[in-house]
Amino acid sequence: MTLQLLPGQRLVVATHNAGKVREIADLLDGRFETVAAGDLGLAEPEETEATFVGNAVLKARTAADASDLVAIADDSGLSVAGLDGAPGVQSARWGERGPGRPRDFAFAMARVERELKARGSGDRRAWFTCALAVAWPRGPVVAVEGRVDGTLMFPGQGERGFGYDPIFVANGEILTFGEMDPAAKHAISHRARAFEALKAALF
């Protein structure tokens, strides 16, 4: 099997997160026909792995095998130096407020600030990590990873992006990811860096 993605190929974006679907579609530059896992009625697997790469592979494999299409999955999150790397792979779960309730990242960002204060930590260094995996139905998987470093600011600023974007300022920038124009963010983000690695491997 040739591990290559061909222009116009239909890909399942293995997420129910509308923000991630948009970002992944943008980063794919219109090269492919994309459909979200949620639009196909595919269930989201429990993210049980201990690493971003492990969870990305799990999600891509699940979607590919269920849809008989090549699937692309992302697992990403925020790590904070002053919290010993937390929330890390638990980033999405920090936004959970209870069974049946949607994830609330305002709640998650407030928790980050609260836990830093509880530790008396002034260390606001942080980094976003993105792992991307492409899986073929009942076949191989290719996985890559990207990272962007920065600092946290409170209160958060901006309504663009999603997740923890409003509290993260990448090194060398003055705007949060939540304030940046999407094109500017895509040029430097962890997801963009992972995509560059993926393009080199598969396009």
How far is 71 from 37, CA to CA, in rounded Å?
A: 9
Q: What's the confidence (pLDDT) of residue 152?
A: 98
- Report which of residues 120 and 202 the model is more confident about: 120
Q: What's the confidence (pLDDT) of residue 186?
A: 85
Q: What's the confidence (pLDDT) of residue 2?
A: 59
Q: For all residues of the chain together, what is the average pLDDT?
A: 91
Strand partners, 74: 132
Buried b (16+ CB within 10 A) or exposed e, 131-147: bbbbbbeeeebbbbbbb
For 152-199, how does the pLDDT look when each residue is reduced to its tens digit (9 = 90+)? Answer: 999 999 988 789 999 999 999 999 999 999 889 988 999 889 989 988
Q: Which of 75, 104, 149, 165 is catalytic?
A: 75
Is 75 an annotated catalytic residue?
yes
- Residue whose entry in the numeric block shows the structure tokens 């904070």: 80
60 within 8 A of 47, measured Cβ to Cβ: no
For 158-171, how does the pLDDT look when each residue is reduced to its tens digit (9 = 90+)? Answer: 988 789 999 999 99
Read out DSSP for 105-171?
A: HHHHHHHHHHHHHHHT----EEEEEEEEEEE-TTS-EEEEEEEEEEEE-SS---SSS-TTGGGEEET
Position 1 confidence tier, pLDDT thresholds 50, 70, 90: low
- Least confident segment among 20-24, 109-113, 121-125, 146-150: 20-24
Q: What's the confidence (pLDDT) of residue 119?
A: 94
Residue ranges of domains in the chain: 10-202
Architecture of the 10-202 domain: Alpha-Beta Complex (3.90)
For 5-25, how does the pLDDT look when each residue is reduced to its tens digit (9 = 90+)? Answer: 888 889 999 988 877 788 888
Q: What's the confidence (pLDDT) of residue 160?
A: 87
For 34-63, how does the pLDDT look when each residue is reduced to its tens digit (9 = 90+)? Answer: 889 988 999 888 888 999 999 999 999 999
Q: What's the confidence (pLDDT) of residue 102?
A: 78
